[in-house]
Amino acid sequence: MPSPVVVFLHAFPLDSRMWARQLETLPAGWRAMAPDFPGFGGRPPGAASLDEVAAGILACLDAEGVRRFVPVGLSMGGYLAFRLVARVPERVAGLVLCDTRAAADNDAARERRTLQAARARTEGVGSLADSMLPGLLAQGTRRDRPDLGSRVRAWIDGSDPEGVARALEALRDRPDSTPLLAGLRMPTLALGGEEDTLCPPAEMESMVSAIPGGRLQRLGGAGHLSNLDAPEAFDAALHAFLGTIL
């Protein structure tokens, strides 16, 4: 039986370029895909819900003849990973949840996304980038690796404003995936930056505690974009996990 395919699912409001290192360093014997979601990575706006985006990803996997796969989702990508699991749990060979949560937005977060979507449509994505950047990368990264901060800013600036607005609305309206946790039967690893203020370690720990056999690994010196903040530690944890699936 061929090895499962690793499907890297990017964060909001970035695109698949955030996974460049992971795609290059994947262990021998593994294949990978890193799709751009509608409105990102040069794609036009499209799907209005995460379930529609998940359906599109499954269609791509089917077209490539991929039966079993391992979603690796960070932030919004984690929300999408849950929607994939909800649709085809029998095809998910393993699950990696990075700096994400299972719960739906509360009322305050929903209102904030509504306002952000309106601003993206009227003002573009610049103001969104200004407000989000401090929370995406760890303080040490922003201080010591300004080139990375500039790169992340460029990725955000390159996103389609309407695609960003639709993504915000899809995030706002996503279902609560918490009921899925107790029924997960595939190997599950959670990776979280110790300095992540958007999905704090305590929240990640609470989520993982509800997953049978789930394991949380915290990454020191990492914020929300843990694969960029701590790439060596992220890759080591991911590769070790993949080695348990083959």
Q: Indicate the number of domains in the chain.
A: 1
Confidence (pLDDT) at 127: 85
Answer yes or no: is pLDDT of 44 > 80. yes
Sequence-separated (6 or more) residues with CB below 8 Å from residue 54: 80, 83, 84, 87
Amino acid at 217: Q
b/e per residue 179-205 (b: at least 16 CB within 10 A) = ebbeebebbbbbbbbbbbebbbbebbe
Domain of 137: which CATH number? 3.40.50.1820
Cut 0.75: pTM above it: yes
Quote the CA–CA distance of 65 and 104 in Å, as a whole number: 32
Residue 128 binned pLDDT confidence (cut-offs 50, 70, 90): confident
Q: Domain residues for 43? A: 5-243
Residue 196 binned pLDDT confidence (cut-offs 50, 70, 90): very high
Residue 2 binned pLDDT confidence (cut-offs 50, 70, 90): low
Confidence (pLDDT) at 48: 79
Residue 3 binned pLDDT confidence (cut-offs 50, 70, 90): confident
Q: What is the mean pLDDT of residues 65-81?
A: 97
Task: Quick: pLDDT tens for 18-27.
Answer: 999 999 999 9
Residue 238 binned pLDDT confidence (cut-offs 50, 70, 90): very high
Answer yes or no: is pLDDT of 246 > 80. no
Q: What tokens appear for 48 in the block?
A: 């209005």
Q: What is the mean pLDDT of residues 65-84?
A: 97
Q: What is the mean pLDDT of residues 132-139?
A: 93
Structural contact between residues 193 and 223, judged by C-beta atoms closer than 8 angstroms: yes
H runs (alpha helix) in 15-125: 20-24, 50-63, 76-87, 107-123
Residue 209 binned pLDDT confidence (cut-offs 50, 70, 90): very high
